[in-house]
Amino acid sequence: MAELDHLVCVVDDLGTCTRQFAEAGFVAWRSPSGGTVQVPLAHCRLELRSTPWGRRLLRRWRRHSGSEHEPGTVVPVLRVDDLEEAVAALRSAGFAVHDPVDRERSAPGGERSRWRQADCDDPDVPLVIEYRSAPPDDRHGEREIRRVVVPVHDLDRAARAYRALLPGEGAVWRAGDTVLQLVPRSSVQRATVELTGAPLPDPLVKLGLSVRHRPGDVDPAAERLAQAVRYRTVSYEERDRIDDEQFAQFGQFLERSFPRVHAELELRTAGHSRLYRWAGRADGRPAALLLAHQDVVPVDDEAAWTYPPFEGVIADGYVWGRGTIDDKSRVLATLEAAERALAEGWRPRRTVYLAFGHDEEIGGMHGAAKMADLLAAEGVVADFVLDEGGVIGLGLVDGVPVPTAMIMTGEKGFATVRLFTSDVGGHSSMPPRQTAVARVARAVADIQDHPLPLRLTDPVREMVARVAPYIRGPLGKLAGRAASLGKPLAYALALSRESASLVRTTTAPTVIRGGVKPNVLPQTAEAYVNFRILHGDTTESVLEHCRRVVRDKQVGVELAPGEHHSEPSPISSTDSPVFRMLAELATAVVPEAVVTTGLVPGATDARHYHHVARERFNFAPILVDSADLSGIHGTDERLSLANYARLIDFTGRLLRRL
């Protein structure tokens, strides 16, 4: 049975890295040769090698793979009881393992360790050693290596090597107390070493090391968010794939976690959606509808995640997993703030509704729409509705060096257009001038090549004007004239992918299909194009635009049957007392933030509540950059512990203003 003896970590600057380990509380000692540093842990160790030494160690691997081993490369070294047997197992699995060679090193106290080591030219095969003397007794501290994510060039081939040495299956292997997970290098470039214990400083995290927090190391609220992530409340377009039991269990989890909320607030359900009424001390119109949603989008490639997307891992100061930003954090933060207020004996002056939908990611028609209908039937008209969609951006607005709190005052509409055609079919050896697939493809190209016109709307104009004083150079001068400039500013915003969606109705071909076999002419073909509709356009005007630019009269154009569509929302005023209140609260939790406005480019549940609220806003005070945003609906979605604490604080402050 093999165990993890140590990890070889290639670093760029050995001296700096050694100092950083020492400052983080590790013991780190340099070998007499000067080329390696040993960092003992509770059950194994890290061996740091400077880039030149690391490359010398791995020169065979570099020749084999044709790739350099840069800083951050991690090589597992496995300890076995019988090296000859391990070498034979690897050779039987088809790997050219070199004959074992003798090695030795000295510890600071003068003790010498001797071992035999077997190397392989294949970069995806771990090093294997057998001690000839007693293994070094240099254990230190409580930090343990729980898990190592190892990028490999050939996942199937690497798995065959690990299978010859370790118990496990697929791409996950257990080496003693440590789990080794293999991932394709095409999806994850650098290894991740997961430690238990105290957090690490940023330089060591960037090296590829991380710390997984144990229960009790973090605020219980963060642990509850991590638990929430573990429920696979995934919304699928194919509704028969949705696991209702996961939603039911998630609801039970909320009731266990927030007993005061569920004892004192009135709860009604619509399917798995949850509508809470928190009665105010005074009569009159309700103050607010606070929205969030329980469901999450599917995960395409779980192996590409640093931590499994539904394990709710807390590591490196983050809660990792699907839904941490979108949108379970807002469900949990709202309940955390309410539970704390109730524990203090506090009640809102005016009635507040909390509405947590269960199908926002697929339209919200069975969740938010049903809850909004319940409220409408009772004559509820709240002052405002607050939902997801706006954040405090770091570097999201070009040229603005300060955090930007984007309190959104409306959202774009959306529609999906279907393009379709048919043909007689036949054998591909006698094709017509254009097949059905070619017709649809050309129609998609026509629409893609003729985007709807650029336009500067009032919310975007105001957004730019508010941040203009912080933008330097020519762009700042242009932004400073936002009140009088239209097209030049719209063209400038269109140069960035992030801001281009704010100045036009966007066009996104998403599906194209047709045909059944390579040598059979298709009898039908279709494509779907998704539009996010800017204020000033409508669903009908988008449809007419498509019919105008698709020149082939044999291609039909229609709104996609069975797909929901939505017109652009009403726009709330920034002169509103509610906007000013949200702005005050945003700067209370992030004092350095500049408050601006804008439009939500996507669709949220808020669009279902327009008839039961006078105004709508979209905002959550989490500090995010472009990397954080890429995790939403993508890989490695995560929310920092600081952001989650900020979100709870903001919600608590908001409740006390109602």
8 Å CB contact between 647 and 325: no
For residue 138, the model assigns a pLDDT of 67
Active site residue 144: no
The two tokens of residue 201 are 């400083």
Residues of the chain short of pLDDT 50, as ranges, are 53-57, 60-69
CA distance 337 to 335: 5
| Helices 328-343 & 244-257 angle (0-180, nearest 10) | 30
- 3-class SS at 191? coil
8 Å CB contact between 504 and 451: yes
The secondary structure of the chain in percent helix, strand, coil, rounded to multiples of 5, reads: 30, 25, 40
Q: Are strands 74-79 and 3-11 parallel, antiparallel or unpaired?
A: antiparallel
Count Cβ atoms within 10 A of the Cβ of residue 518 and give its class: 0-12 exposed, 13-18 middle, 19 or more buried.
Answer: exposed
Q: Give tens-digit pLDDT for 563-621.
A: 888 999 999 999 999 999 999 999 999 999 999 999 998 889 999 999 999 999 999 99
8 Å CB contact between 493 and 399: no
CA distance 296 to 248: 15
The two tokens of residue 64 are 């084999």
DSSP class of 371 = H
Q: Give tens-digit pLDDT for 24-77.
A: 788 888 877 667 888 888 888 888 887 654 444 455 444 444 344 456 678 899
- Class of domain 410-559 (CATH, top level): alpha beta
Q: Are strands 520-521 and 426-427 parallel, antiparallel or unpaired?
A: antiparallel
Q: Which fold has domain 3-212?
A: 2,3-Dihydroxybiphenyl 1,2-Dioxygenase; domain 1 (3.10.180)
For residue 189, the model assigns a pLDDT of 64
Active site residue 295: yes
Q: How high is the mean pLDDT of the chain?
A: 87
Does the predicted TM-score (pTM) go above 0.75? yes
CATH number of the 220-389+602-655 domain: 3.40.630.10
Distances (CA, A) of 138 to 7, 80, 553, 641: 15, 18, 78, 34
- Of the candidates 332, 347, 273, the one whose C-alpha atom is nearest the C-alpha of residue 609 is 273
CA distance 595 to 400: 12
Neighbour count for residue 576 (Cβ, 10 Å): 16
Domain ranges of the chain: 3-212, 220-389+602-655, 410-559
- The 3 state secondary structure assigned to 511-577 is EEEECCCCCEECCEEEEEEEEEECECECHHHHHHHHHHHCCCCCCEEEECCCCCCECCCCCCCCCCH
Among the listed residues 138, 360, 361, 628, the single catalytic one is 360
Q: Which residues contact 574 (CB under 8 A, 6 or more apart)?
A: 409, 462, 597
Q: Which long-range contacts (CB under 8 A, 24 or more apart) does 101-109 make?
A: 102/132, 103/129, 105/31, 106/31, 106/32, 107/29, 107/38, 107/136, 107/138, 108/29
For residue 521, the model assigns a pLDDT of 87
Among the listed residues 47, 138, 295, 526, the single catalytic one is 295
CA distance 10 to 47: 8
For residue 188, the model assigns a pLDDT of 66
